[in-house]
Amino acid sequence: MKLIAFLCIEIILPCICLGATTSNTVNSLLREYGSQDRTVFRSICNRPRAYTDVYYVCLYLRYRYNNDAEILLSGIPQRKSELNGLWKTDEDVFKNVTSSVNLPPILNGTGFVQNFSGAIYALMLKGDKEAYGKYFFIYYSADGEFAEGMQDQISGFISKYPKVVLRDWPVLYPYLKHTTLATTEIAYNVADLKSVYKTLCKSSAEYSQTTCHEVMSYLDKISVSAYKHSSTQK
């Protein structure tokens, strides 16, 4: 029995040895985080994988263990088809889970994709220019609930962090031009948002007139798009 256990942990991948599903492997990896033990992580994640669901979990955990942005960003692929494994992780995580309280603690009661994109989102807030490109690549590749979730994150980015938006506008704007926010909460609070941005632009010489003008123009476009959208729904 001990020999079998040793083989499972140290030599043969647990998912193969025990006949476990990918869902079991993913959840075992995520649940191990926070403990002193990294046995599962080492046995699974030290082996190269080609953008599978387990690959993305290993990438995320490697980033969390090392707190190194380069690990996370450099591990994100360049082709949309290679993100299929990322979308599958939520299916693995939620399989046989009846309540969010039963999810691995590292996920904070939400899905893996939300945590993965949230990690890149946090790097954007810190001013990591590469993170913007990676984040929006994932967003453009997403659909359904994943796209909606990231759309809400982008909306929150603009409404909650105006100083960051103004600071990084030259990097952010090229991506926002191809992003539709007409159905998000931000679309119905444009007037208040414009007031916040105007105040910041007037009170600080840090932001150029060009940046401030483009931000105001962008907010106006969101408002117009929201009006058109609401009209078509009547």
Tens digit of pLDDT at every position of the chain (234 positions) = 444 444 444 433 444 333 357 889 999 999 999 898 999 999 999 876 778 999 999 999 999 999 999 999 999 999 999 999 999 999 999 987 777 778 899 999 899 999 999 999 999 999 999 999 999 999 999 999 999 999 999 999 999 999 999 999 999 999 998 887 756 777 778 889 999 999 999 998 999 999 999 999 999 888 777 656 555 555
Q: For the chain, what is the largest distance between any 2 Cα atoms, rounded to a whole number of angstroms?
A: 72
The 10 Å Cβ neighbour count of residue 233 is: 7
Provide the pLDDT for residue 231: 56
DSSP characters for the chain?
Answer: -HHHHHIIIIIS-HHHHS---HHHHHHHHHHHTTSS--HHHHHHHTS--SS-HHHHHHHHHHHHHHT-HHHHHHTS-SSGGGGHHHHHHHHHHHTT--SGGGS-GGGTTS-HHHHHHHHHHHHHHTT-HHHHHHHHHHHHH--HHHHHHHHHHHHHHHHH-HHHHHHTHHHHHHHHTT---TTSGGGG-HHHHHHHHHHHHHH-TTS-HHHHHHHHHHHHHHHHHHHHHHHHT-
Read off the pTM.
0.85
Give the relative orientation of helices 84-94 and 53-66 as an angle to the nearest 10 degrees.
90
Per domain, the residue ranges of the chain are 11-142, 162-234
